[in-house]
Amino acid sequence: MTATTTVLIVLDLVGTFAFALNGGMTAIRVAHVDIVGVVTLGAITAVGGGILRDVLLGALPPATFVDWRYLTVAAVGGLLAFAFSRGLDRFSNPIEVLDAAGLSLFAVTGAGRALELGAGPMQAIILGAVTGVGGGTLRDVLVRQVPSVLSSGVYAIPALVGAALAVAAATTGVDEVLGAPAAVGAAAACFTIRMVGLRYGLHAPRPPGTDRSDGARA
């Protein structure tokens, strides 16, 4: 295993951890769940996007389900969310940063995996975004929220941009099989857009005639 691959896997696991922590905390906030629910929802948030991607690629069993490291990191993240549910409320800012990092990494690595498995460019971009937003969407459905990706702020757009940049780098030959530099650049672009969106409270356009001044979650 090359140093580059190691770096990417470490970043992927950091994203998994951030999503698990975030998923567990969201579960505690919006639903009346017990320890099983917190850990399950944390894990689903962390590995759900990769599972959806692999189902759509027909690459079964899904990598994030088979590799014990993803499941272990996801379970630990969920357990920490449970154990420190009160204390973690103070850390919403770092959690959002980690979530944006996870979104960026998953969008890029998801697009790369789709290309490796033979998907076309359009499909690879969509699958990168699905990898990034899928886990949180499953979590929201299970706790009866309208998935935030559909309604709140700038979330899917940076994922699509990151995935598109990764695909462009790989298909234009800038990068052989989407190596580390192009991947990091694409993830950084996604991350930046997401953080700017958060900082300035940006929203994607709403349908004409339905704009309201209230924010985010319906």
When the beta carbons of 35 and 196 are compared against a second copy, the nearer one is: 35
Residue whose tokens read 């800012």: 93
By the rule CB under 8 A, 202 interacts with a second copy: no
Binding residue for a second copy, selected from 11, 41, 74, 95, defined by CB under 8 A: 41
Residue from 160, 170, 156 nearest 120 by CA: 170
Q: How many CB atoms lie within 10 A of CB 102?
A: 28
When the beta carbons of 155 and 191 are compared against a second copy, the nearer one is: 155
By the rule CB under 8 A, 32 interacts with a second copy: yes
By the rule CB under 8 A, 196 interacts with a second copy: no
CA atoms within 13 A on the CB side of 52: 24
CA distance 137 to 51: 12
Quick check: 156 and 129 in contact, CB under 8 A? yes
By the rule CB under 8 A, 206 interacts with a second copy: yes
Residue from 165, 162, 166, 158 nearest 204 by CA: 158
Find the shortest distance in angstroms from Cβ 180 to a second copy.
27
3-state secondary structure of 73: helix
When the beta carbons of 17 and 155 are compared against a second copy, the nearer one is: 155
When the beta carbons of 111 and 182 are compared against a second copy, the nearer one is: 111
By the rule CB under 8 A, 10 interacts with a second copy: no
Q: How many residues bind a second copy (CB under 8 A)?
A: 58
Taking CB under 8 A as the rule, which mask of x and - marks residues 67-106 in contact with a second copy? Answer: -x--x----------xx-xx--------------------
Q: How many CB atoms lie within 10 A of CB 144?
A: 8
Residue whose tokens read 């990898």: 131
By the rule CB under 8 A, 143 interacts with a second copy: yes
Find the shortest distance in angstroms from Cβ 22 to a second copy.
15
Counting Cβ atoms within 10 Å, is residue 24 exposed (0-12), middle (13-18) or buried (19+)? buried
CA distance 166 to 9: 17
Interface contacts to a second copy, rule CB under 8 A: 27-28, 31-38, 40-41, 51, 55-58, 60-62, 65-66, 68, 71, 82-83, 85-86, 119-120, 122-123, 126, 137, 141-147, 149-152, 155-157, 203-210, 212, 218
